[in-house]
Structures are given as C-alpha cells and as structure tokens.
C-alpha cells in the first residue's frame, strides 16, 4: 500500500470553483483500487471545518504565518481529510480565493504558503502515526511545498500537477520573509521568476515528477502559445513531464440513476423528456428545428465565450438553441444577459448550480466547449456520458477525449463529436453549422450519441497511470 498526501486548495464535495475540485475529490477513491492510500490536505475554510465533525487534533502550531493553528484529521465520506484550522487565514466570508467583492484576498500568498508548509511538515514528521511516501501537489497553491520540504529535510518525492498554467501565484520578493522562504534560493533555478517570487515555479523546479491533465496539454505547455510564460521552465523539465487525462465520477454522473433528472435513461432516446423539461425550465420555444445546445462553465477569457457570441448566428439561423449556465467575469455575464434578452433562441442563467448542471447534460442535445485553451475539461466528458454530443475546440484535453466527425471517422462509425480549429469565431461558426447538419441526419446523430455513451470516461486507466508513477518514485 503506497501512501500519498494530496495537497489541494479545493476538493469536491466540500469546496469547489472548478474541475480541480472534482479531480482532488475523485483521486483518492479511484486510487484505492490501485493499492494506494491517498489522504488529502486542505485549508480549513469554513465549509471544510463544518464537515470535520469529531475530528482529531494531529498537530498544533503556535505561529503559522501570523497566528495559531491546528492540524485536524477526520474521515469525511470517502475522503481521509487533513484540514488546517487557522482562523487568521481561512475563517472568513467569501470564496477560497476571492473576497465577497470578487477581489483576490491580499494575503493569498501566505494563505497557500501555509498549506504548502503544513504539507511539508507532514512529509517530514508524519501526521500522528501516518506518513506519506509521496506528496502530490495541485497547481500554484501547493507550489512552495518542495521549498519547505527542502528546508525541513524531508526525504519524500514530490509530484506537481498542473491543472492550469495561467495562474502562477507570483508575489513581490519583499514577501520572501513573510512567506518563510530561503532568500538564498531566490534564484532562477528555484523560485525566482522575472524578478518575482513564483509559487508555481517553485513547484515545477522542485518536483520529482510533473504531470498535467491531458497528453495534448503536456505538449502544448512546452510552446510559447500555451506555456503562459512557464514554457521555458517546463522545457528544462521536459524529461519528467507527462500527461494523464482526467476522468469523471461515473456514479455521480450516470444518466441511468441521476436523481437530478426529469427522467433517467440509458439510451439516447431517453433524453427527449429531459430536453423538453430543460426547454421549459429555460423558457426556450419547444418547436425549434435545430439542436438544443448547452454550455456550463466558469465565465473567463479561457472559455471562449466571446467567440461563441460572435459565432452564434450560425446556430440560430439553422434553428438551434443555446441554454447557458455560468458565472465569473461580470463583463461576460452582462454580455450574455443582453444577448439572451434580444434572441429568443438563447437563454442564460448566471450562477452556480450543481443540480441544474446535471439537468443540462441530460436535456442538452449538444454540449459546447469553445475554450481557447483547456488542460482537460470535464463537461465534454459529462456530455459523452449523457449522449450529449460535444462540440469542442481542438486543444488540450478536448483534443484527446472527443473523436471529430471527419468524413473518415463518420465512415468508420467512430466519431463522438465535432472539433474546430483554428480557435476563432469563424471556424466555431462553421463547426456549429456542421453540428446542425449532423443533427438533421437522425441516423448519424444517434450514432454519435451512442458512440459517446460507450466511451470510457471514468478514472480506471488514469488511476492506474498515477499509481504507476507513484510506484516508480517510491521504488526509486
């Protein structure tokens, strides 16, 4: 049994802003079948501590980045969870990263440095009688872990997973002291990044292995176009970088048993009742001749929402519709609301709603993911599982998980969706037109749906790949 400490800033179902939470929440369960015992370390946000009933105190710290703290352990559902109780860092209104006004917390560098420091402490001293043989950190929030491990003399390998290279966790060098970093290591080969202190770079330079969440993104990360300034660092570490695609929780996302649905189903035919219910829920006309497309997403530049708005006429002219659920960038939110107000085929709900996202996967006939970049992406995987044909940009995990309806793939009966490239409004519009043509041919459409529903989108293969990677590190 290999023991692994997973270090994350969010974890479903306790606290979630995006796919990282799903992955952190699913990995321990997926790995259990692979001879791995993964425990998870989280900041003790209110939502986390509220679920830590009967938690045991494992350690105490008099001064953890400005105040007293305790390390708690509890079994929360299937998760073996360590949480850092530190009121000065985590006991506040708002989200994990943003205050109630939507601004980054000013002390985010310290809040997540504390997460990394406690991870290093566990790596060095264990937690009670439990010791990790591998520490696995996610994104910049866990980035300083190998720095602190180095300082504490931990002798445990560190794996760094990049879910999104857009966020570096950079901070002025004036904070080196308050972050408890070694000023002698403020150097290019460690955590110095163009004159700044970079948490992500610390993780990437200090990791024994680097993974990201799809094979295509692992390649893209090395390019100027996608590396977001970390391409040089990553090229230097190319030999330890690999891509392991995300899975989804196929129990939580199962159209045959999903309690959120108007009607459960196990064949594409069963979707009709959900489609009708979704149109009614979004107030969309029920006599549209084209496909009901859905989109569920954070609203940020990454997600290509602006491209979609530009390309939408191609869908609407052919009688297609769009139902969109999302929240984020206020500018995109108001753009979408305005567009919906003037186009009867478009309906938008601004907010975050887990149950509605399930109803959308079931009721939608196509799922749109027009991202400019997408390390993996999960909603196209939900779409496949629900017989909801994905239309995606040809990038990252979207490239790896959808089989484009090219003439050859259609002829061989293996296509599962539509991909577009280059990633611009023109080719997205062409792809939407192609989607409508495919929809107009019921036999081909049903084949796409059935092929999608047969795709293996669970964690099995990827859990085995992580287990193999840990095993390699542990056996040296």
Residue of 38, 86, 213, 233 interacting with ligand GLC (CB under 6 A):
213
CB of 136 to ligand ADP, least distance (A): 18
- When the beta carbons of 20 and 399 are compared against ligand ADP, the nearer one is 20
Pairing between β-strand 389-393 and β-strand 366-369 as defined by DSSP bridges: parallel
Q: Tell how far CA 141 is from the center of its chain.
A: 14
Residue 376 contacts ligand GLC per CB under 6 A: yes
Among ligand GLC, ligand ADP, none, partner that 353 touches (CB below 5 to 8 angstroms by kind): ligand ADP
Residue 352 contacts ligand ADP per CB under 6 A: yes
- When the beta carbons of 19 and 44 are compared against ligand ADP, the nearer one is 19
- When the beta carbons of 95 and 319 are compared against ligand ADP, the nearer one is 95
Listed in sequence order, the residues at least 6 apart from 294 whose beta carbon sits closer than 8 Å to its beta carbon are 278, 322, 323, 324, 325, 360, 361, 363, 364, 366, 367, 368, 388
Among ligand GLC, ligand ADP, none, partner that 327 touches (CB below 5 to 8 angstroms by kind): ligand ADP
Stretch that binds ligand ADP, among 218-226, 260-268, 350-358, 458-466 (CB under 6 A): 350-358
Q: What is the C-alpha to C-alpha distance for residues 169 and 200, in angstroms, rounded to an integer?
A: 6
Pairing between β-strand 79-85 and β-strand 69-76 as defined by DSSP bridges: antiparallel
Contact 365, 293 (CB under 8 A): yes
Pairing between β-strand 158-162 and β-strand 209-212 as defined by DSSP bridges: parallel
Q: What is the C-alpha to C-alpha distance for residues 13 and 15, in angstroms, rounded to an integer?
A: 6
Taking residues 275 to 304 in sequence order and writing x for each that binds ligand ADP by CB under 6 A, - otherwise, the string is: ---------------------xxx------
Listed in sequence order, the residues at least 6 apart from 341 whose beta carbon sits closer than 8 Å to its beta carbon are none
| Cβ-based neighbour number of residue 62 at 10 Å | 7
- When the beta carbons of 85 and 249 are compared against ligand ADP, the nearer one is 249
Using left for φ > 0, alpha for ψ between -120 and 50, and beta otherwise, residue 328 falls in: left
CB of 22 to ligand ADP, least distance (A): 5
Pairing between β-strand 196-198 and β-strand 170-171 as defined by DSSP bridges: antiparallel
Residue 19 contacts ligand ADP per CB under 6 A: yes
DSSP string for 70-105:
EEEEEEETTEEEEEEE-HHHH-SSS-SSB-TTSPBP
Contact 22, 12 (CB under 8 A): yes
Residues in 11-30 at the binding interface with ligand GLC, rule: CB under 6 A = 18-20, 23
The residue of the chain with the least Cβ separation from ligand GLC equals: 19
Taking residues 356 to 395 in sequence order and writing x for each that binds ligand ADP by CB under 6 A, - otherwise, the string is: -x------------------xxxx----------------
- When the beta carbons of 14 and 149 are compared against ligand ADP, the nearer one is 14
Radius of gyration of the chain (CA): 23
Residues that bind ligand GLC in the complex, under the rule CB under 6 A: 18-20, 23, 163-164, 213, 246, 374-378, 397
Contacting residues toward ligand ADP, per CB under 6 A: 18-20, 22, 296-298, 325-327, 352-354, 357, 376-379
């Amino acid at each position: 049994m290999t023991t692994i400490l997973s270090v994350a800033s969010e974890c479903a179902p306790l606290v979630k802003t995006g796919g990282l939470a799903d992955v952190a929440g699913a990995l321990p369960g997926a790995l259990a079948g692979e001879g791995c015992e993964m425990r998870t370390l989280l900041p003790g946000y209110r939502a986390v501590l509220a679920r830590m009933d009967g938690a045991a105190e494992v350690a105490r710290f008099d001064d953890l980045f400005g105040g007293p703290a305790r390390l708690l352990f509890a079994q929360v559902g299937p998760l073996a969870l360590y949480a850092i109780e530190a009121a000065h860092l985590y006991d506040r209104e708002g989200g994990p990263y943003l205050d109630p006004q939507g601004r980054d917390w000013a002390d985010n560098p310290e809040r997540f440095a504390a997460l990394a420091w406690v991870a290093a402490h566990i790596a060095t001293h264990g937690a009670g009688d439990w010791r990790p043989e591998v520490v696995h950190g996610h994104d910049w929030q866990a980035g300083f872990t190998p720095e602190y491990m180095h300082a504490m003399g931990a002798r445990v390998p560190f794996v760094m997973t990049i879910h999104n290279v857009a966020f570096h966790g950079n901070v002025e060098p004036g904070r080196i002291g308050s972050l408890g970093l070694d000023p002698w290591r403020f150097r290019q080969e460690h955590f110095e990044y163009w004159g700044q202190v970079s948490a992500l770079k610390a993780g990437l330079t200090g990791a024994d292995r680097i993974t990201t969440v799809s094979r295509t993104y692992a390649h893209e990360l090395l390019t100027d176009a996608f590396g977001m300034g970390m391409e040089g660092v990553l090229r230097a570490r190319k030999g330890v970088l690999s891509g392991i695609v995300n899975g989804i929780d196929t129990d939580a996302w199962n159209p045959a048993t999903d309690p959120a649905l108007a009607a459960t189903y196990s064949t594409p035919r069963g979707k009709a009742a959900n489609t009708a219910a979704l149109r009614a829920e979004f107030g969309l006309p029920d006599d549209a001749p084209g496909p009901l497309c859905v989109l569920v997403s954070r609203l940020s530049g990454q997600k290509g929402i602006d491209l979609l708005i530009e390309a939408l006429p191609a869908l609407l002219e052919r009688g297609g519709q769009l139902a969109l659920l999302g929240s984020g960038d206020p500018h995109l939110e108001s753009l979408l609301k305005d567009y919906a107000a003037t186009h009867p085929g478009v309906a938008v709900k601004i907010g975050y709603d887990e149950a509605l996202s399930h109803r959308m996967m079931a009721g939608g006939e196509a799922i749109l993911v027009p991202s400019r970049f997408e390390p993996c992406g999960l909603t196209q995987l939900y779409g496949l599982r629900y017989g909801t044909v994905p239309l995606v940009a040809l990038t990252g995990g979207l490239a790896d998980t959808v089989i484009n309806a090219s003439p050859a793939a259609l002829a061989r009966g293996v296509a599962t969706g539509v991909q577009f490239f280059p990633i611009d409004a023109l080719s997205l519009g062409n792809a939407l037109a192609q989607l409508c043509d495919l929809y107009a041919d019921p036999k081909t459409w049903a084949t796409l749906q059935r092929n999608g529903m047969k795709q293996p989108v669970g964690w099995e293969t990827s859990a085995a790949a992580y287990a193999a990677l840990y095993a390699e590190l542990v056996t040296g």
